[in-house]
Amino acid sequence: MNNTDRNDASRPISIWRWPLILGIASAVGLLSALIGDDVYDVLSWCLLALPLIMIVRAMRSAQ
């Protein structure tokens, strides 16, 4: 079996793409909450809400 026979879903980046994006977004959200006010607070709320939005979306699509 060579690399051209592999399914795209079996590639590590395909598996870990969304967990990495959500982890980085959460880390940036936490850091922005610590370093500033006003705009940083809005950025923090948006980035920290992203994992929750994705969870609700996944639960609704599973039904």
> Structurally, how many domains does the chain consist of?
1
pLDDT tens-digit profile of 11-51? 888 889 999 999 999 999 999 999 999 999 999 999 999 99
29 is a domain residue: yes
Closest CA to 31 of 23, 54, 20, 16: 23
1 is a domain residue: no
Q: Is the pLDDT higher at 30 or at 63?
A: 30
2 is a domain residue: no
3 is a domain residue: no
Closest CA to 44 of 52, 55, 36, 53: 36
Q: Which two tokens stand for residue 44?
A: 């923090």
Q: Is the pLDDT higher at 48 or at 1?
A: 48
Range of the domain at 17: 8-62
